[in-house]
Amino acid sequence: MKTKRDWRWKKLEQMTALQSEKMFALRQEVFIVEQDCPFADIDGKDSQAHHLLVWEGDSLIATLRVFESYQEYDGKSSIGRICVARSARKYGIGKELVQTAIDYIGEKFSNKEIQIGAQFYLKRFYEELGFSQVSGIYDEDGIDHIYMCYSAY
């Protein structure tokens, strides 16, 4: 029998040392190791974000971060650092993760328009969740990206 998933929103200062360690380890595994993309994941912005952590028992299987007002996106809300552990993929967790963030922004923030910097190969994934492409392709750390927006509220 599968372990029940525990979905929790936390600010960085509300996390235990172990929770934050597991969050950074998962992001490192997905973004730096799997994608072979050395970049500065710890960018000094996590303390300003709301983090969604998805646990199966003691294992962190997915995470993302949300900003109410992201300066780089002209103050729009933003979702980023979206990642799912390899062992948890193919079960729809990614879509549920992003939809949960969209719903959170709709409920908690006054700023409802959301902008993301999406890896280009995931364009269809985000379109299925209601995002629209708003830029051409650009390179970020050697990976093709596009800006996408969501404004269904």
Tell me the per-residue pLDDT of 4-32, one tens digit each, with 9 for 90 and over: 899 999 999 999 999 999 999 999 999 88
The confidence score (pLDDT) of residue 3 equals 65
Three-state secondary-structure class, residue 18: helix
Question: Does residue 2 register a pLDDT over 80?
Answer: no
What was the pLDDT predicted at 91? Answer: 86
- Rounded to whole angstroms, the Cα distance separating 124 from 46 reads 27
Q: What mean pLDDT comes out for the span 96-113?
A: 94
The identity of residue 18, as a single letter, is: L
| Domains parsed from the chain with CATH numbers | 5-112 (3.40.630.30)
pLDDT at 1: 38
Check residue 31 and give its pLDDT: 87
Give the pLDDT confidence of 115-144 residue by residue, as tens digits. Answer: 999 999 999 999 999 999 999 999 998 899
Percent residues over pLDDT 90 in the chain: 78
How far does CA 56 lie from the centroid of its chain? 18
Between 53 and 143, whose confidence is greater?
Answer: 53
Q: Using one digit for the tens of pLDDT, what is the confidence trace for 54-86?
A: 999 999 999 999 999 999 999 999 999 999 999
Give the closest residue to 70 by CA, choosing from 35, 26, 100, 105.
105
Which pTM was predicted? 0.92
Is residue 94 helix, strand or coil? helix
